[in-house]
Amino acid sequence: GQQVMQIPQYQHVQEGEDFTTYCNSSTTLSNIQWYKQRPGGHPVFLIQLVKSGEVKKQKRLTFQFGEAKKNSSLHITATQTTDVGTYFCAGNSGTYKYIFGTGTRLKVLA
């Protein structure tokens, strides 16, 4: 079945440093979504990418979808303490199923 891997599992950065998490799917995806979960909270939708090679930006966050539609990345520029949380990708292969990656837990040291 479809598998979605995410690296790294953990990342500690100093405030102001950049951060990147990578997502790889075992199958070609129709689209990929990214979510953020604050400690003790529930996942909250950030963005959806649909097109091959697509790049989207949300303020300091940059999301990319690979040309083959099997990988994606989330890059945060100049991290802030408010960026703390776990970031998940979720892949969809054209069905109603959304398979989540294992997540990357980000800690930002002030």
* Minimum distance of other proteins from residue 6's CB (angstroms): 7
24 vs 77, beta carbon nearer other proteins: 24
25 vs 33, beta carbon nearer other proteins: 33
**Contact assessment for residue 91 and residue 98, using Cβ atoms and an 8 Å cutoff:** yes
Tokens of 50: 């649909």
Tokens of 109: 């040291």
Bridge partners (DSSP) listed for residue 13: 108
Q: Which residues bind other proteins (CB under 8 A)?
A: 1, 6, 9, 31, 33, 35, 42-45, 48, 88, 90, 92, 96-103
